[in-house]
Amino acid sequence: MMEARGQRHPTELAQFMGVRLALCSEPSSSATWNDSRAKSLTGDAIISARFMRGDNFTFRRAHKTIVVGNHMPKLNAVTQAIRRRMQMVPFRAVFAPVAGTGMRERLQEKALSAVLAWAIKGTVEWVKRGTSPPVRVRLLTEEYLADEDRFGQWLEECCARDESALERSSDLHRNYGASEMVRGRRVMRCSRVTWSEAGLARRRPW
């Protein structure tokens, strides 16, 4: 799900067929999300893949994707599609293994039925009311997306919003690129979706 040099082999996608939970671990400190790959592996579009020396086949995603690591990968663009897919969950607690507690035996002998009843009760509540991310998750996600929204930062710092104003798109692109270069960052291409989601409509001068 991260950007890599060269073309990715379709066998990488084949391993997701029929999977219910996909765990991806330890992206590097310089990792950047592969936007199209992340969207395809977390959306409802049909995925095309093949096994080594096999024919192409298609399947639909059936898994939830969790990326675990100490570093949060960079984003090329913060779009509504990305916002719908991202939930940053902080894992602050550290659990060290403790030997000789007998917990496994106690759960199997006495508490197993209670644990099962608790899980079923929680499932019923979830079906009835649904669920929303905890406050801590929402705040961390918003902070992460705000830090990664380079286009939004430029729009806030370098542009004056006026519904009646007109500006050449080439001038806006040039200013955005210069702003990124001053910060020492690689200039990302802004798609039409990026502009429209920011409320900037493209118009013909005639």
pLDDT at 60 over 80: yes
State how far the alpha carbon of 201 is from the alpha carbons of 8, 46, 151, 197, in Å. 35, 31, 15, 9
pLDDT of residue 205: 61
CB 87 within 8 A of CB 95: no
pLDDT tens-digit map of 62-119? 999 999 999 999 998 888 999 999 999 998 888 887 777 777 777 776 778 888 899 9
pLDDT tens-digit map of 153-164? 888 888 888 878
9's tokens: 């082999």
- Sign of torsion over alpha carbons 166, 170, 175, 180: positive
How far apart are the C-alpha atoms of 119 and 115, rounded to whole Å? 6
**DSSP code string of 4-15:** -SSPPPTHHHHT
166's tokens: 């007109």
pLDDT of residue 76: 85
Please tell me the pTM assigned to this model: 0.77
pLDDT of residue 65: 93
